[in-house]
Chains A and B, each alone.
Chain A
Amino acid sequence: QLQLQESGPGLVKPSETLSLTCTVSGGSISSSSYYWGWIRQPPGKGLEWIGSIYYSGSTYYNPSLKSRVTISVDTSKNQFSLKLSSVTAADTAVYYCARQGITMVQADYWGQGTLVTVSS
Chain B
Amino acid sequence: QSALTQPASVSGSPGQSITISCTGTSSDVGGYNYVSWYQQHPGKAPKLMIYDVSNRPSGVSNRFSGSKSGNTASLTISGLQAEDEADYYCSSYTSSSTLYVVFGGGTKLTVL
Contacts and interface: CB of A to CB of B under 8 A. Distances in A.
Contacts, number: 69
Given A52-B100, A60-B100, A63-B97, A105 B45 contact: no
Contacts of A111: 45
Interface in B44-89: 45-48, 51-52, 57, 89
Interface residues of A, number: 22
A46 B93 contact: no
Given A63-B1, A105-B51, A112 B103 contact: no
B101 interface: yes
Interface string A39-80: 000000011110010000000101110000000000000000
A46 B89 contact: yes
B46 A46 contact: no
Contacts of B32: 103
B104 A106 contact: no
A106 B52 contact: yes
B106 interface: yes
A14 B47 CA distance: 32
B1 A64 contact: yes
Interface residues of B, number: 28
B101 A63 contact: no
Is the contact region of chain A dominated by helix, strand, or loop, or is it mixed?
Answer: loop
Contact of A49 (B97, B103, B106): B103
Contact of A46 (B51, B52, B103): B103
Given A106-B34, A108-B48, 16 more contacts: A46-B3, A46-B104, A46-B106, A47-B38, A49-B91, A49-B101, A62-B1, A62-B101, A63-B99, A96-B45, A103-B93, A104-B93, A104-B100, A105-B36, A105-B51, A107-B46
Interface of B: 1, 3, 32, 34-36, 38, 45-48, 51-52, 57, 89, 91-93, 97-106
